[in-house]
Structure 1
């Protein structure tokens, strides 16, 4: 918080910038699988449902796939989190790496079904190891997003002693989202290998993105932070909610 000349506290508007960026990241994460699937059902786009989100690179919906991921990546890089002596809790460093990974997923596509087709990509090569690089970027991106939800987003209330905490307390939501991402990442190759059901990869990738988006929306206080919502999610009781910026 900043102080005016009379020593009266005034709102530091930087906090609202942080919240807007968090919400933007959250909305983009949730909207990506929704847009791809819904547009696949509309004949106008001439695109069939794909087995995975990455496969949309080779469809008419490629611009939505690459554009959304690049936007997420740029927002994550632009998002200036807080440093920490521990790498595992260094908000600024982790979001920067995650942003680079998101852009890498967008620019280095998964392998096509047919290598003889023209492949439009920033790296003009038709080699299989680029597909593995894509999977590496994607796996590391999701692991970092899970780490942020579990290990970083929970810092703000780790010293909170007020009881009782609601089951909807924000830290419970962050941990649920983080572990959901981890389970989904594990299930992607497992379900593909076991052929559990059709579009299993797409489903688990979408689940991971929904969890990622939800965590960022809650962190951005997209539902508000006053009244009953503020009390249940953030234990916020003040008429005009405030937060400790450097714990966020």
Structure 2
């Protein structure tokens, strides 16, 4: 796969997407000083809500701006641009159609939800919750697909194994969420699943794709360059 058709701005977008992926599951609990059932439930807490909206909106806009490599029609059926556009639109849907307010594991949010005192587009509707969950899944899977299949094209730059593992972790995490939901709702009510399994598996999906996007954006080269400047190391 040729590298001459990749715009320099795309490297910056990769680094920004990677940074957002790493920070999202870490900053939100710190802002709320509490763990919720899922990353999406931070939408209902004041400061975390602002952070959540900014980061997910940035995800959407950066992905819509990303072009990537031109499609190789001999080996590919989906272009980078098409895949990231789908992921970007899904991220924006996640913002404008948030998760249901119930089941956050936070007493204040559950009380607010029962009283119907909801912020912005907050709701407790099953259909809207389904749209949110599907959009979140599409967004994460698009990121995993980029890591696993798009970043590993062409000659190995020494990081292909990392990209594959990151992509696989994304797919495994999404699969585990679906399995836990199925067990929780369809197999037996007596089966106790940890309240935070969605948050845990969302984190094990978001952080790996964040790492892969950072590495693909040559963030390591930037760190090395900064280190050389700081410590006066000459080439």
Band the TM-score falls in, shorter-chain normalisation: 0.7 to 0.9
Q: Any idea what the Cα deviations from partners look like across 1:117-153, whole Å, max 9, x if unmatched?
A: 133345x876320000000101111111111111111
Q: Any idea what the Cα deviations from partners look like across 1:52-83, whole Å, max 9, x if unmatched?
A: 10111111211111110010110010111223
Give 2:95's match in structure 1, choosing from 101, 106, 124. Answer: 106
| Alignment of 1:49 onto 2:35 | yes
| Alignment of 1:95 onto 2:89 | no
Counterpart of 2:22? Answer: 30
Within 5 Å, give how 1:116-127 maps onto structure 2: 116-122=115-121, 127=125
The count of aligned residue pairs is 201
8 A Cα contact 1:28 1:213, kept in partner: yes
Name the SS of the counterpart of 1:25 in structure 2.
Answer: helix
Deviation at 1:155, TM superposition (A): 1.0
Name the SS of the counterpart of 1:154 in structure 2.
Answer: coil
Unaligned runs of 5+ in 1: 1-11, 42-47, 228-239, 241-248
Q: Any idea what the Cα deviations from partners look like across 1:187-206, whole Å, max 9, x if unmatched?
A: 12333525443412111101
| Alignment of 1:151 onto 2:174 | no
Deviation at 1:225, TM superposition (A): 8.0
> TM-score if structure 2 supplies the norm length?
0.76
Deviation at 1:116, TM superposition (A): 4.5
Larger RCO: Structure 1 or Structure 2 (Cα < 8 Å, ≥ 6 residues apart)? 2
Counterpart of 1:140? Answer: 138
Q: Distance in 1 between matches of 2:150 and 2:144?
A: 10
| Alignment of 1:216 onto 2:213 | yes
8 A Cα contact 2:100 2:123, kept in partner: no
| Alignment of 1:128 onto 2:126 | yes
Give 1:201's match in structure 2, choosing from 198, 205, 211. Answer: 198
Q: Any idea what the Cα deviations from partners look like across 1:169-200, whole Å, max 9, x if unmatched?
A: 31111110001000101112333525443412
Structure 1's 171 and 132: CA in aligned 2 closer, same or farther, altered over 3 A?
A: same
Counterpart of 1:75? Answer: 62
Q: Distance in 2 between matches of 1:67 and 1:225?
A: 25
Name the SS of the counterpart of 2:118 in structure 1.
Answer: coil
Q: Distance in 1 between matches of 2:76 and 2:96?
A: 27
> TM-score if structure 1 supplies the norm length?
0.72
Deviation at 1:17, TM superposition (A): 2.2
Runs of 4+ more than 6 Å apart: none
Name the SS of the counterpart of 1:155 in structure 2.
Answer: coil
Structure with greater helix share of residues: 2
Name the SS of the counterpart of 2:37 in structure 1.
Answer: coil
Counterpart of 2:175? Answer: 186
